[in-house]
Amino acid sequence: MSNIEKRPVYNYLLELAAYMASSARGCLEEPPSYGTFRLIDALGKVLKIQDYLPEAEKDQFLEKVREDIERNKFLKSTNHEAFEKFLDDLILELVKEAKKRCI
Amino acid sequence: MNRRSIRSFTEEEISKEMFTRILDAARLAPSGSNLQGWRFIVVADPHILKLVRIFSPGFLSNAPSAIVVCSDLEVYEKEGGEVGRSYTRIADCAMAVENMLLAAHALGLGACVIRSFSRIALKEILEIPAKAEPELIVALGHPKAQPKPPPKRKIEEITYLNKYGASWADGGA
């Protein structure tokens, strides 16, 4: 086993690659609205990379974003308006944080 | 009537007896010309299940097991004609899956049907031959939570009497 195969973060990235490549393929033939869900679900999975950092190094804002996504992503299939509002609110939160950090 | 699609499960595994009862319900489902061209792969090995899950964007749960429902294309091509190839094989699998869902629910289990997966990945992972096609995945486990029912259309919105568009509720008026 190589050093890369031994490192869990790379295995997680491999999982993420599998998910995103399969999603990209699926989006060619699935209902267009699935793409929105796959993107927000993928964002939650990307942010989960923080699990591989020591607790003290985790970005708490991004962790909260991840938790919000987990809590709200299924609104996509149950309440379109609420899902749209969740995405708008999320974007505004990201804008505020980006401005605060002077990105 | 209170069956729901379950996406949150405990870690408890499903016994072989329960799987057998679910599969028994599936095999007794109706099929076009009684072809029974469905094939079932029970995925209980955690490593294989993880491979299936990561190549299945629609697999949104932590289900400890799954049944991959395939159609045997040879059966439908030889005996089903064009309708069999393009339509009956999918309808048959769907009817078997519905029986699975009801059996699982009767056993106190939770399940969710998944159609968003990479076909070529599943064929490679599960060594599905060229003559078969994965059609649906049923994620299975012991439910952790019972979700609220999603909105459903009323009978009168989707049902007509004697001809399309004639109101069921008003006696066909």
Domain boundaries, given as residue ranges, for chain B: 16-158
In the block, tokens 């070529």 appear at: B120
- Interchain contact, A18 vs B60, CB within 8 Å: no
Listing DSSP states for B110-152 in one string gives EEEEE--S-HHHHHHHTT--TTEEEEEEEEEE-BS--PPPPP-
At residue A5, the pLDDT reads 60
Q: Choose from A13, A20, A25, A29 for mutation: most chain B CBs within 10 A.
A: A25
Domain B16-158 has CATH 3.30.420.40: no
User: For residue B154, what is the enclosing H or E element?
Assistant: none
Q: Which residue among A22, A34, A38 places its CB closest to the CB of B121?
A: A22
Looking at chain B from residue 38 to 67, which residues have their Cβ under 8 Å from any Cβ of chain A?
54-58, 60
- Interchain contact, A38 vs B151, CB within 8 Å: no
Query: Which chain A residues are Cβ-neighbours of B57 within 8 angstroms?
Result: 19, 22-23, 26, 38, 41
* Residue pLDDT, tens place only, A6-63: 688 999 999 999 999 999 999 999 999 899 999 999 999 999 999 999 888 999 999 9
* Residue pLDDT, tens place only, A63-102: 999 999 999 998 988 889 999 999 999 999 999 999 999 8
- Interchain contact, B55 vs A22, CB within 8 Å: yes
At residue A2, the pLDDT reads 62
Closest approach of B136 to chain A, Cα-based (Å): 14
At residue A29, the pLDDT reads 93
Alpha carbon B50 to its chain's center? 19
At residue A6, the pLDDT reads 66
Interface TM-score (ipTM) > 0.85: no
Looking at chain B from residue 120 to 149, which residues have their Cβ under 8 Å from any Cβ of chain A?
121
pTM assigned to the model: 0.89
pLDDT band at B138 (very low <50, low <70, confident <90, very high): very high
Give the amino acid at B24: D
Q: Report which DSSP code applies to B59.
A: -
- Interchain contact, B116 vs A30, CB within 8 Å: yes
Query: Which chain A residues are Cβ-neighbours of B118 within 8 angstroms?
Result: 21-22, 25-26
Cα torsion at B87, B88, B91, B94 (round to 10°)? -120
Q: Which residue among B7, B54, B150 places its CB closest to the CB of A19?
A: B54
Which of B38, B42, B29, B34 lies closest to B95 in space, CA to CA?
Answer: B29
Residue B148 has pLDDT above 90, yes or no: no
Contact B33, B80 (CB under 8 A): yes
At residue A76, the pLDDT reads 87
- Interchain contact, B118 vs A22, CB within 8 Å: yes
